């Protein structure tokens, strides 16, 4: 059954649409991850400091962070079915600019363009995943997210075997992936437009929040604190793990990229697990286990040798990654009539925390050492104790 048909029934879940969204997310985040994956190449070619590397991440993350909530809020009121393909075109432009950038300012501009494309993609794509879920919101969000995490894992591997040997200009070869994603996203736009037409004909009413506005705002604040904890720590690995391995254990660039792939592969697996488990046991329980459960491993990581460093990043990736899908669905259940805004807010805040974290941690690494950064970050999962303050939506009476 094609994507132009409004429903692909499987317990009410449009699996063809979810798979297409997941594949598109994979291609989108593969392109994004190439920015961080080529940091060792750019650092050597242009004699960049850790602070400058952090600023590159900040340029990408800030455009994505600032624009996503605004785009989500706008599309809650005026859905744009074909905006995803346009956003991918903007990312393509950023990638091509990065492939020919000849200095730090051009690299910053390219990273910012990729961030704009990401800001356009994520809110509407997350909304479409929820619409296609058939009520299985955790499964849908995890399937969508796992595509992105798989793409983030593939990027460093591609960088290790293509960009490192062939140089910065080989980034342009990945424009093929961007064009393929644009074709898929156009087809998804056709499905979404048909869905919107059907929804308008039925005049489906909006769903109220299960708790009061005050408790909703408080819970959203707690969830954003948990996102801060998760993404500040993840940034320490996604932005600086390869450099940490090279500096601490004297591994090769390719060896470091392969170990980053191992970590990001664990993140992809953990992401998929969080949603379906949340559908069964509740998303608050998944958030508890994800944020706090990772603490013993993060505390041990800064003191491990090369072998155990590689091993420890696997449970860290598996456990910590399961949080985002659960947090996203929990937040969307708090504000079911503002799905796009919630997606934009949380994706944007995640990108923002990643960007700020990259800049702050880069500065800290320049002032102290990259090893000290991991000792400081190891305590971040303690913020997960705030989960105790979240309401239990499964047992919460309406408008309490």
| Mean pLDDT (whole number) for 185-211 | 74
> Residue 317 sits in a domain of what CATH number?
1.20.1250.20
Q: Are 9 and 37 in contact (CB under 8 A)?
A: no
- Is 396 within a domain? no
- Is 254 within a domain? yes
28 vs 66, 88, 305, 313, 322, CA distance in Å? 19, 7, 34, 24, 20
Contacts with 375 (C-beta within 8 Å, 6 or more apart), sequence order: 302
Domain extent at residue 269: 15-389
- Is 397 within a domain? no
Task: Name the 3-class secondary structure at 400.
Answer: coil
Contacts with 364 (C-beta within 8 Å, 6 or more apart), sequence order: 372, 373, 376
Length reported for the chain: 400
Is 324 or 180 the better-scoring residue by pLDDT?
180
- pLDDT bracket for residue 208 (50, 70, 90): low
Closest CA to 141 of 293, 338, 339, 295: 339
- Is 9 within a domain? no
pLDDT at 235 over 60: yes
pLDDT for 205 equals 53
pLDDT for 296 equals 93
3-7, 71-75, 134-138, 364-368: least confident range? 3-7
- Is 2 within a domain? no
Mean pLDDT, the chain, rounded, equals 83
- Is 6 within a domain? no
User: What is the DSSP code (8-state) at residue 390?
Assistant: S
pLDDT for 397 equals 38
> What is the token pair recorded at 359?
């800049």
Q: Domain count of the chain? A: 1
Is 26 or 126 the better-scoring residue by pLDDT?
26
99-103, 144-148, 302-306: least confident range? 144-148
Rounded to an integer, what distance in angstroms lies between the CA atom of residue 155 and that of residue 35?
9
- pLDDT bracket for residue 268 (50, 70, 90): confident
pLDDT for 273 equals 75
Closest CA to 357 of 94, 50, 119, 107: 50
Q: Which of 1-10, 156-165, 309-318, 335-344 has the highest mean pLDDT?
A: 309-318
pLDDT at 398 over 50: no
Handedness of CA 231, 267, 38, 174 (dihedral sign): negative
157 exposure class (CB count in 10 Å sphere: 0-12, 13-18, 19+): buried
pLDDT for 150 equals 79
- Is 304 within a domain? yes
- Is 1 within a domain? no
pLDDT for 12 equals 56
pLDDT for 394 equals 55
Rounded to an integer, what distance in angstroms lies between the CA atom of residue 55 and that of residue 9?
46
- pLDDT bracket for residue 207 (50, 70, 90): low
pLDDT for 16 equals 87
Torsions phi, psi for 172 (to 5 deg): -65, -25
Q: Can you give the pTM of this predicted structure?
A: 0.69
């Amino acid at each position: 059954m094609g994507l132009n048909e409004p429903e692909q029934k499987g317990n009410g879940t449009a699996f063809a649409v979810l798979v297409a969204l997941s594949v598109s997310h994979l291609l989108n985040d593969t392109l994004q991850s190439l920015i961080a994956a080529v940091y060792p190449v750019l650092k050597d070619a242009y004699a960049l400091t850790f602070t400058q590397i952090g600023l590159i991440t900040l340029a990408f993350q800030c455009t994505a962070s600032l624009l996503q909530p605004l785009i989500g809020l706008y599309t809650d009121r005026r859905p744009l079915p074909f905006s995803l393909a346009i956003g991918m075109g903007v990312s393509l432009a950023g990638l091509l600019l990065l492939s020919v950038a000849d200095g730090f300012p051009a690299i910053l501009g390219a990273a910012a363009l990729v961030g704009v494309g990401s800001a356009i993609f994520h809110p509407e794509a997350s909304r479409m995943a929820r619409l296609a879920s058939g009520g299985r919101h955790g499964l849908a969000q995890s399937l969508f997210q796992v595509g992105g995490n798989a793409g983030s894992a593939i990027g460093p591997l591609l960088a290790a075997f293509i960009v490192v040997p062939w140089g910065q200009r080989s980034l342009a070869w990945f424009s093929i992936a961007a064009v393929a994603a644009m074709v898929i996203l156009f087809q998804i736009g056709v499905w979404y437009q048909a869905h919107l037409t059907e929804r308008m004909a039925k005049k489906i009413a909006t769903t109220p929040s299960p708790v009061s506005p005050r408790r909703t705002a408080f819970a959203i604040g707690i969830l954003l604190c948990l996102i801060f904890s998760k993404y500040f720590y993840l940034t320490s690995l996604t932005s600086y793990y390869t450099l940490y391995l090279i500096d601490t254990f004297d591994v090769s660039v390719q060896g470091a990229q392969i170990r980053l792939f191992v970590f990001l592969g664990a993140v992809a697996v953990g992401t998929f697990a969080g949603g379906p488990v949340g559908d069964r046991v509740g998303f608050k329980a998944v958030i508890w286990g994800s944020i706090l459960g990772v603490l013993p491993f993060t505390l041990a990581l800064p003191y491990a040798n090369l072998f155990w460093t590689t091993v420890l990043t696997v449970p860290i990736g598996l456990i910590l990654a399961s949080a985002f899908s659960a947090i996203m669905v929990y937040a969307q259940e708090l504000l079911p009539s503002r799905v796009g805004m919630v997606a934009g807010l949380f994706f944007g805040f995640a990108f923002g925390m990643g960007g700020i974290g990259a800049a702050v941690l880069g500065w800290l690494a320049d002032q102290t050492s990259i090893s000290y950064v991991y000792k400081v970050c190891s305590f971040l999962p303690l913020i997960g104790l705030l989960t105790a303050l979240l309401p239990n939506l499964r047992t919460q009476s309406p408008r309490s």
